[in-house]
Structure 1
C-alpha cells in the first residue's frame, strides 16, 4: 500500500512532514504535531480573514537565515474554519512537496 508524505521544506530543512493534512484554498495546513518547532519563531504579525478569523505567524529560521512570517496558523478560528485550528500553512518560498511512502 502506497500513500504520499507531504513535506514543507525551506533552506534544505524539513519544517513539517505528514501524510494527513487539511487543504484550504489551495494551501496545505499541517497538523501542529507534525511541525518541527525548532525552526518556527513566533512573530508579532497578525492578519484577518473574513471567514477564518485572525491568523498568527511564525518566522522560519534555518541555519541562521530568516524567512519572516513564512508560516501562519489560526489559534482561534471562526466556526467555519475549526478544522484548521492551530494547523500551520506555509508560503514565501517554503516548498510543499509530496513524496511516495511504501507501507
Structure 2
C-alpha cells in the first residue's frame, strides 16, 4: 500500500503491515519518508487511544515550498487498553487525512 501526497510517496509498505483503526489505515513507522514529516503543535488526546501527534507534510524544492498542516497523525505511545482493543501494537504508526491518496 502506498500513500501519495502531491506526487510524493510519503509511505510505502506491504498491505499486511497496515493496521486499520476506525476506517483509517495506519502505516508502520519504518515505511515513512521521514524527510516529509514535521511535528505539529496541534494538541489532541483520543479518549481511548491516548495522546496524538499530528504531522505537517512539507516539501521544498528551490524557492518552492509546499505543505499540508496536520495532514497525518500518530499515537507514539497509545494506551495499553487501545493496543489490546486493536489487537496489535500500533505505536508510532501513521494515518493520513484527505490530502493524501492511499493506493493499493
- State TM-score, norm by structure 2: 0.84
- 1:84 deviates by 1.2
Question: Any gaps of 5 or more consecutive residues in structure 1?
Answer: 1-5, 99-103
Partner residue of 2:2 out of 4, 7, 12: 7
Q: CA RMSD in A?
A: 1.1
Q: Deviations over 1:17-70 (max 9, x none)?
A: 001110111111000000000100111112111110110111001342110010
Question: Any gaps of 5 or more consecutive residues in structure 2?
Answer: 84-88
Asked if the contact 1:67–1:92 (Cα under 8 Å) also holds between the matched residues in 2, the reply is: no
Bigger strand share: 1
- 1:81 deviates by 2.7
Q: Deviations over 1:51-101 (max 9, x none)?
A: 101101110013421100101000121113332111011103111110xxx
- State TM-score, norm by structure 1: 0.85
* Poorly superposed stretches of 4+, deviation over 2 Å: none
Residue 73 of structure 2 is matched in structure 1 by 72
